[in-house]
Amino acid sequence: MECKGCENKTQAVPYIAHEAALARMERTIRRLWILALVLIGLLLATNAGWIWYESQYETVTIDQEVQQEVESGNNQFIGGDYYGDAANGQD
C-alpha cells in the first residue's frame, strides 16, 4: 500500500543547518578527545604514584625452622602460630 502523495512530502535540509550540526559535532568530538587524553594521563599518573608508594617499603624475609611431629598430619604452621592438632596439644 503506497501513499498517493508520499513522493513529494520529503524536504531537503537547508545547507546552513547541516553545516551548523557538523560544526557542533566537530566541537563535541574535539572535547571528547581532549577528555580521553586527560583521563589517560591521569591513569598513568596514578599508576606511577602507586608504584612509587609501594617501592618505599622493603621486603623482609624471615627464615624459621619448624619441627612438627603429629601422626595425623593435620597441624599447620601459619605466620608463627600452630593450627590443627598441635595447637590443641593432641600430639
Question: pLDDT (tens digit, 9 = 90+) per residue, 3-47?
Answer: 766 666 667 778 898 899 999 999 999 999 999 999 999 999 999
79: in domain: yes
- Are 48 and 34 in the same domain? yes
For 82, the domain range is 61-91
Residue with cell 603429629: 70
Report the C-alpha gap between 65 and 48 in whole angstroms.
38
Q: Which residue has the higher pLDDT, 72 or 24?
A: 24
- Are 53 and 80 in the same domain? no
- Are 18 and 42 in the same domain? yes
Report the C-alpha gap between 91 and 73 in whole angstroms.
10
In this prediction, what percent of the chain has a pLDDT beyond 70?
A: 59
Q: Work out how many domains the chain is built from and give that number.
A: 2
43: in domain: yes
73: in domain: yes
Model's pTM, two decimal places? 0.50
Average model confidence (pLDDT) for the chain? 79
